[in-house]
Every structure is written in C-alpha cells, then in structure tokens.
C-alpha cells in the first residue's frame, strides 16, 4: 500500500495526493485509486474509488456502516484495474483518467481562473473559484447535485432549470455492482401542469399527480413533519421537487431501485439497515391509466376498474374480460352551447393526468367553475392548492379525456366533472356502473365458483389453527342472488377466543352500551384490535335466520361502513365482531368542549360527506336495500384518520324487522333523530334515515345536540332553532363558533341547507340520499328552498304523548330505544 503510494508519487512528478481527510482537491493534486478519499468537513460523506474489477469514482456516506453510494461520476465509463485517478484541470474541468492517462470522464463547466473541487457536507461535490463562498450555489461552476444518479439527497433538486434546459432526474443502477443507467427513470414532466413520472424506457409507469400545495395528489400519505419536509417549486425559471431534513441524525434518501420502484429509505443505526419508509407504486391502481380514459380505479373493489359517473364502458365485451384499457365514454354528450351542462363532484381521488391541462393559481374555485363552463372543451376542473382553507384555491382545468384516475380511502381530492344535464341526476357512486358490468360477467363468476369453494375450504383449515372455529361461506344461493361477484368468507369465532380477547367481558374492556347490547374492546393477539357487540339474548331470532342476516351484513362493504370481521354463536351467546375504531364515536368528540377542536371544518365536511355516502350505499347501492333506522352521532365511528364509518347497520334485520316500507311492530330508534312519521306512526322508509341524516348534519355543523336547549330560543330544539335562523336569514349563526372563521362559510351554509331539506316534515319533500350526496357537492344557491322541519320544539309529541298503546322502554338522551307497539 505505502510502496504503491510512493510509486504513484514518483510517476506523477507534478501531481501529489490530497492530504488524507481533506475535502478539497486542487489542480496540483490528484486522487488516485489506492484508498485515498476526500472527506467532507462534518465527516458525513466520502469521495473516492469503489467497485470490484470495474472501478468508479463515487460518493458514499462515511458514517453509515453499510457502503451506500449516492453518486457516481463515471457510471457509464468504468476503469478496469486500480490505476485510475481523479484530478481537476487548471481551467476547472474535473477529469478521470485510466492507466494510460486517457480521459474516460470529464465534467463540463465554464472555465475558471483558480479552481478547486470540494466535497461539501451535504454530499454535493462542487467546483468553484478557490476564494469563493462554498455555501453559495451561485458560485459553483459545476456541482454533482446537477447530475444525480439514482439518489436524491436532502436539498438536491429533482427537476428542471428552464433557462438552461438542465433536467435533473434519477435513473436506477443496472445491478448492485453495476451503476450503469438502467431502463428506470424518475423525472419531472413540465408539460401542462407539472408532475413527476416514473418511466420504464419510454413508458410511464407511475405518476405522483400534481402538487396540491401540501403534497402530491397521488401520494395521500405524504406529510411534512418535524424531521422531514417537502417542496415542489414551479416558477418561470425552475420546476423541481426537493426535500429537507431537520434532524442531523435522520439519514434518509430517495432512490429509484433496480425494480423500477421509487423508495424513501431511512437508515436505522441499531439494526444497520436501510428501511423502506415509503415506496411507490404500491398497488394495481398506481399503474398509469390502469382503467383507461375516463375510468376510475378502486383497489378495494373487484374488479378494480369502474367508469366515472355519467360514463359507460367504451368496449363492454373487453371490460367483461377485465381489460379496461379502452376506458369509458359519456352516456350523454355534452351540450355546451345550450348551457345546460353541470358538474358533479368526484371526491377522494387522485387528480387525473395533468400533462395537457392548464392551471392558474390566481383563480378561485368558483371562477374556475365559470371558466370551465364557458370553455366548451373543458371536461373537468379542480382546486390547484388545497392548503388554502376550505375548498382550496387555484384552478386546474382539463380539456382532454381524464386518465389515470383512482380513488383513495383517505386523503384523496375533489374533482369536478362536467356532465350533460341528463347525466347529472344519475348515480353518484362509480361502483354502480361497475355493478352493471359485473352482471355481464355473472357467467364468469359462476365458473370461478368452483375455484373459490376450494379456496374457502383451504382458508377454513388455515383459520382453524388461529383460534377461529370455522367459517361460514356464502352458499351458492347468495352468490347468484348477490351478483356482486364477491364470495364472503366470514370467520366464526369461538367463545373462548372472545372471552380471552375481552378479559372475560371485563368492565374495563367495555366501550359502551348500545340499543342492542353492550360493546367491548378486545385484542386478538398483538396487532388486531376488535370491537365485540354482545347482542342482548332475548331479542335475537333463530340460529339459521341469525346466520343468514349476519352473512348479509358482512356482504355490505363500503369505506364508510364499519367492517364486520366475524361473529360468534355459541350456547345462548350471539356476538358480532367488528374492526375497532380508535377515535370512537362522533358524539364523544362533537359534543365534548375539550375535544371538539379536533373537528375543523374540513374534517366535519368529510364526515358529513362520508356518512352520506355510506347511507347512500345502504339505501341504494348495496344489493339489499338496508334502512338503518338508528342513525345518530353515537353510531358514527371515526377511524384513525377521522374517516366516518356507520355502525349498527342491518341491526333491524337481525332483530327481525321487515325491510319494505311498512308499519313495524317494533320501533327502533333514538329520540331526537326519529322522523315524525316513524316516531308517531311507526312508518319507516329510506326517508326516515334521510331525516336522521339531516339532524346529524345540523349537529355536525353546529356542534350542538338536537335535544340541547338554546338560550336564545329555549322552547326550540336544534331543528327549530336552525329553522328560525334560516327564516330570518341568520343561518351563519348556527355554525359552531369553535371553528373560528377560517373556513368557507358558503360550504357550511350549503350543508345547513341540505340538512334542513332532509329534516322536512313530509317524507316526500325530503331528498333521497342520492340527491343529498349530489346537493352536498353542488352550488348552494341552486338547491330548492326547505320547508318547515318536523319536530321543532324541545317537547316533541312523543314525549308529551303518553299513549298507553306504546311500551316505552328507555328515553334517556341519545340512547336507542326499542318500543313494542300493540297493533
């Protein structure tokens, strides 16, 4: 080693090596391939030769014990053998030479008079005038940050200098030992409204979606936090993405790996590994344009592809074979000149490809709508910056077909889709469209039945060993009837497991007491938390009937319904096992002065829309029309992201109610939420649920219970109070003061209006849930005027009426009641 050093020293008479540990390379020095390295001043990065038989000049972390190369100079021009060297010419050009002093790689920069090359502590290798400031990027004649390989370090820019045309992008290594560029690249596309794409050769494989002021539209989980923040800059000179680290001990980098996946890796010192903190693409729906133009991809559905509202498959026979690449077309062509087109809100989505859309950050969403409506080629619009409170600001406008749309369970955005008047009143849920397609493939489903039966048997065997005593599988009857193509395999838990999970139904595990029995929290092993509803023994129907109803409920799956995980039937016990919701129920937050602060306007609005969607699904989109009959704040559970989930649906079925509009012997419901016709005459229909929904909306907006009392109008309940404010044009006073005033009042007023429309006295005046969902997303001024609500006084007719024919079991605030009416 030493002798080799001297040999090099003797051979190169004018060039000597930099002192070990230096961070600067001067023109009178050279860095040779014998273990010499430059080390940045803070000791974070090291620059030198690496590789086995082929040698490369690269930069790696000097404090990370697993050699991790973050930049390579000569990734395409390796040197064979260890006689290469790196030096800087007197005019500032960096060169790598081989054994014959042939230049294999050089940097191109402007000529300098007195250059030095320096490895900075952020991992940037720069060339600058020797006297200049090493912290000033403008003084760099050349920098390695401008020529990334596969790694983006904090502070590096991924994107364009529009003046010089420099396009900084990441390209994966070919293999672990070969840094040569592979086919996978991640680059910013500056056409239209900029986005970042992953490429495989010339094919786009994934896109981030446009930046929405907070994150990329296609990375809903992206969040700035104390250690890490992000930036996406779009201006006349530059378009780039960058991230910053605010804790020196947090070592992270973004790479494109050899499988063509982009990953954020973080170094974990204890276990000495690079952990994948985040990666993309993740699921099928992340694949660019999985469902073709105007299609929507939903990974939680099967098949995953559907059409946007107002669209149908372009090529139904291919769709039936699960080839959605042709996408969808309009049911009714737009009728621009007549001015009858309108918009529907498609919420919770990744915004469509913006490569050919236009954006204007200075417009408001309202102006955006107008602009879209007046331009006949406009197909959709959306807010460009959602970090502005409320609906967001700025305007992205699409004038082409919408491609690469997908939905997210959480964190998606709202897109306003232009439709012809004829399609505006139609379904608001893309899954409806999907169902029509599914009916076409019912034959295919029947063929796969055999296979799925085999699968069930296998699953059943597997589950047994994990403490569940078996599964109920849907019988053929259900699958044919159901037509949704989903086989449900509902675990039957054994009593022992549930007793263990809930500490023998200990009081500490008890979450509360609903109208149908107590609810307990349980733990199945380390990870899975469950909620166990122990049905009151007396009220449950026969075993087979019970099983059938449970299977039916299990088939109802929607992101706004609490998921049923299984059931337990043993001896006298009947239990339903649900997923556990960490944020408990809405009433516990909404009506608690200490916690209501968690509910900003956006959260409240999302809760309202979520409940509306869940209810719409129960009423209309599920195969079986389910009327909830006990909609109330206590039955709205909130998951960890405050996404609302309706619970207790289908209970009326289990407890033996009939499901057609009819009189019922048993009134199940909660005072304050019951519609007049239901409470008084026991007549229920979907419109009774709409009434309860309206009460909920008003409660959510106002933060007050319907049965509370208001100083200004002590004789009125919330409905009466809201109605009196409405009549006097003072509706804004109803809005919960705890939200301050940084939210879009127009949206709140619209919700109140929808709430009032839903609580109208006459069921036939109330909208259906389908219209309610549409109304929530449309222009408030265009909604019909509400008429007087039912039950406006604190003393409802029920409470004053002591009719002997009614057997009134409970009447405490917000507790479900069960009444048996003699008929």
Ligand X SMILES: *[C@@H]1O[C@H](CO)[C@@H](O)[C@H](O)[C@H]1NC(C)=O
Residue nearer to ligand X on the CB measure, 107 or 635: 107
Q: How far apart are CA 322 and CA 311, in angstroms?
A: 17
Strand partners, 537: none
What is the rounded distance in angstroms from the CA atom of residue 598 to the CA atom of residue 204? 40
Residue 356 contacts ligand X per CB under 6 A: no
Peptide bond into 303 cis (omega under 30): yes
Say whether the peptide bond before residue 382 is cis (omega within 30 degrees of 0).
Answer: no
Smallest gap from Cβ 770 to ligand X, in A, equals: 22
Question: Measured from the CB of residue 79, what is the shortest distance to ligand X in angstroms?
Answer: 7
| Beta pairing partners, 189 | 195
Which two tokens mark 9?
């020293």
From the list 87-95, 217-225, 601-609, 772-780, the region that binds ligand X by CB under 6 A is: 87-95
Between 98 and 677, whose beta carbon lies closer to ligand X? 98
Phi/psi-derived region of residue 134, left when phi > 0, alpha when psi is between -120 and 50, beta in every other case: alpha
Q: Which of 242, 399, 469, 523 binds ligand X (CB under 6 A)?
A: 399
Name the DSSP letter for residue 351: P
DSSP run (H or E) holding 544: helix 543-555
User: Length of the chain in residues, anyone?
Assistant: 823
> Is residue 539 involved in binding ligand X (CB under 6 A)?
no
Per residue in 331-363, is it b (16+ CB within 10 Å) or e — as a string? beebebeeeebbbbbbbbbbbbbbbebebeeeb
Q: Which of 286, 630, 648, 689 is catalytic?
A: 630
Q: CB–CB of 347/609 below 8 Å?
A: yes
Residue with smaller CB distance to ligand X, 54 or 464: 54
Among positions 235-264, residues that touch ligand X (CB under 6 A) are 237-238, 257-259, 261, 263
Q: How far is the CB of 371 from ligand X (least distance, A)?
A: 8
> Are 229 and 246 contacting, i.e. CB atoms less than 8 angstroms apart?
yes
Nearest residue (CB) to ligand X, 277 versus 710: 277
> How many CB atoms lie under 10 A from the CB of residue 429?
19
Contacts of 357 (CB under 8 A, 6+ apart): 192, 193, 396, 397, 398, 399, 400
Choosing from 213, 483, 777, 780, the residue that interacts with ligand X (CB under 6 A) is 213
- Classified as helix, coil or strand, 299 is coil
- C-beta of 10: minimal distance to ligand X in Å? 15
Q: What backbone torsions phi and psi does residue 111 show, to the nearest 5 degrees?
A: -75, 140
- What lies within 8 Å, CB to CB, of 215 at 6+ separation is 222, 223, 230
630 as an active site residue: the answer is yes
Residue 586 within binding range of ligand X, rule CB under 6 A: no
- How many angstroms separate the CA atoms of 124 and 729, rounded? 62
Q: What values do phi and psi take at 312, rounded to 5? A: -135, 160
Binding mask 172-211 for ligand X (x = CB under 6 A): -------------x-x-----------x------------
Half-sphere exposure of 685 (CA within 13 A, CB side): 14
Minimum CB distance to ligand X, residue 528 (Å)? 24
Residue with tokens 């044919």: 480
Q: Is 742 in the site for ligand X (CB under 6 A)?
A: no
Binding mask of the shown chain, residues 21 to 50, with x at each position contacting ligand X by CB under 6 A: -----x-x----------------------
x/- letters, 138..177, toward ligand X (CB under 6 A): -----------------------x-xx--x-x--------
- In angstroms, rounded to a whole number, what is the distance separating the alpha carbons of residues 480 and 629? 28
Number of residues that bind ligand X (CB under 6 A): 44
Q: How far is the CB of 100 from ligand X (least distance, A)?
A: 4
Q: Which C-beta is closer to ligand X: that of 247 or that of 335? A: 335
Binding mask 258-297 for ligand X (x = CB under 6 A): xx-x-x------------x--x------------------
Residue appearing with tokens 């002065």? 593
Q: Is 631 helix (H, G, I), strand (E, B) or coil?
A: coil
- Nearer to ligand X by Cβ, of 193 and 693: the residue is 193
- Span interacting with ligand X, options 1-9, 93-101, 443-451, 714-722, rule CB under 6 A: 93-101
Minimum distance from residue 337 beta carbon to ligand X (Å): 5
Using the contact rule CB under 6 A, the part of the chain among 301-309, 385-393, 432-440, 620-628 near ligand X is 385-393
Rounded to a whole number of angstroms, the minimum distance from the CB of residue 74 to ligand X is: 13
State the residues that interact with ligand X by CB under 6 A.
16, 26, 28, 80, 89, 91, 93, 98-100, 111, 130, 161, 163-164, 167, 169, 185, 187, 199, 213, 237-238, 257-259, 261, 263, 276, 279, 335, 337-338, 358, 360-363, 375, 377, 385, 387-388, 399
**So which residues are the catalytic ones?**
630
């Amino acid at each position: 080693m030493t002798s080799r050093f001297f040999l090099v020293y003797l051979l190169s008479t004018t060039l000597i090596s930099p002192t070990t540990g230096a961070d600067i390379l001067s023109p009178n020095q050279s860095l040779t391939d014998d273990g010499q390295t430059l080390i940045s001043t803070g000791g974070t990065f090291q620059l030198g030769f690496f590789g086995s038989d082929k040698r490369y000049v690269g930069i790696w972390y000097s404090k990370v014990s697993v050699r991790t190369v973050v930049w390579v100079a000569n990734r395409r021009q390796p040197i064979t053998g260890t006689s290469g060297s790196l030096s800087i010419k007197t005019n500032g050009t960096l060169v790598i030479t081989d054994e014959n002093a042939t230049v294999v790689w050089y940097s191109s920069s402007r000529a300098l008079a007195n250059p030095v090359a320096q490895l900075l502590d952020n991992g940037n290798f720069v060339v600058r005038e020797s006297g200049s400031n090493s912290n000033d990027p403008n003084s760099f004649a050349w920098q390695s940050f401008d020529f990334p390989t596969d790694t983006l370090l904090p502070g590096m820019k991924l994107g364009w200098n529009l003046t010089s045309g420099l396009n900084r992008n990441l390209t994966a290594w070919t293999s672990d030992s070969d840094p040569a560029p592979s086919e996978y690249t991640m680059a910013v596309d500056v056409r239209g409204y900029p986005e970042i794409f992953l490429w495989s050769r010339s094919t786009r494989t994934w896109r981030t979606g446009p930046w929405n002021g907070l994150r990329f539209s296609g990375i809903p989980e992206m969040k700035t936090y104390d250690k890490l923040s992000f930036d996406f800059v779009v201006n006349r000179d530059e378009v780039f993405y960058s991230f910053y680290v605010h804790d020196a001990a947090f070592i992270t980098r973004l790479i494109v790996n050899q499988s063509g996946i982009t990953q954020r890796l973080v170094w974990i010192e204890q276990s000495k590994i690079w952990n994948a903190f985040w990666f993309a693409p993740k699921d099928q729906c992340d694949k660019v344009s999985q469902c073709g133009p105007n299609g929507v991809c939903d990974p939680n559905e099967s098949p995953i592809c559907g059409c946007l509202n107002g669209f149908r498959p372009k090529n139904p026979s291919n769709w039936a074979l699960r080839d959605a690449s042709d996408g969808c077309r309009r049911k009714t062509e737009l009728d621009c000149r007549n001015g009858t087109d309108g918009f529907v809100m498609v919420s919770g989505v990744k915004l469509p490809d913006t490569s050919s859309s236009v954006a204007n950050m200075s417009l408001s969403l309202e102006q955006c709508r107008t602009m879209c409506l007046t331009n006949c080629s406009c197909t959709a619009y959306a807010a460009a910056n959602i970090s502005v409170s409320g609906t967001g600001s700025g305007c992205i406008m699409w004038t082409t077909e919408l491609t690469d749309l997908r939905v997210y369970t959480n964190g998606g955005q709202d897109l306003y889709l232009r439709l012809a008047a004829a399609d505006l009143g139609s379904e608001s849920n893309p899954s409806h469209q999907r169902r029509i397609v599914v009916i076409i493939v019912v034959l295919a489903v029947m063929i796969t039945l055999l296979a799925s039966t085999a699968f069930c048997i296998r699953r059943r065997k597997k589950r047994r060993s994990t403490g569940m005593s078996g599964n109920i599988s849907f019988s053929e009857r259900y699958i044919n009837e159901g037509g949704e193509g989903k086989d449900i395999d509902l675990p039957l838990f054994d009593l022992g497991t549930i007793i263990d999970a809930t500490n023998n139904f200990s009081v500490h595990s008890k979450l509360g007491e609903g109208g149908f029995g107590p609810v307990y929290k349980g733990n199945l092993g380390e990870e899975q938390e469950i909620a166990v509803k122990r049905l009151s023994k007396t009220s449950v129907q026969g075993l087979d009937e019970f099983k059938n109803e449970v299977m039916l409920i299990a088939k109802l799956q929607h992101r706004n319904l609490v998921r049923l995980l299984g059931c337990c039937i043993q001896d006298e016990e009947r239990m339903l096992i649900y997923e556990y919701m960490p944020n408990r129920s809405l009433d516990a937050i909404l009506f608690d002065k200490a916690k209501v602060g968690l509910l900003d306007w956006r959260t409240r609005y999302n809760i309202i829309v979520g409940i509306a969607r869940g209810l719409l699904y129960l009423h209309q989109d599920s195969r079986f029309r389910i009327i909830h009959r006990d909609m109330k704040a206590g039955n709205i559970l909130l998951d960890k992201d405050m996404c609302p989930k309706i619970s207790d649906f289908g209970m009326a079925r289990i407890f033996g109610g009939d499901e057609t509009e009819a009189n019922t012997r048993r009134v199940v419901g909660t005072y304050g939420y019951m519609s007049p016709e239901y409470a008084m005459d026991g007549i229920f229909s979907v419109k009774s649920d709409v009434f309860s929904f309206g009460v909920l909306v008003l409660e959510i907006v106002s933060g007050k219970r319907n049965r509370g009392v208001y100083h200004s109008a002590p004789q009125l309940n919330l409905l009466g109070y809201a109605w009196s404010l409405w009549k006097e044009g003072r509706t804004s006073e109803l809005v919960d003061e705890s939200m301050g005033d940084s939210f879009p009042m127009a949206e709140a007023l619209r919700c109140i209006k929808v709430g009032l429309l839903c609580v109208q006295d006459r069921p036939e005046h109330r909208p259906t849930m389908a219209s309610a969902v549409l109304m929530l997303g449309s222009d408030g001024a265009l909604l019909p005027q509400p008429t007087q609500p039912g039950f406006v006084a604190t003393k409802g007719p029920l409470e004053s009426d002591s009719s002997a024919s009614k057997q009134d079991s409970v009447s405490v605030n917000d507790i479900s009641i069960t009444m048996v009416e003699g008929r």
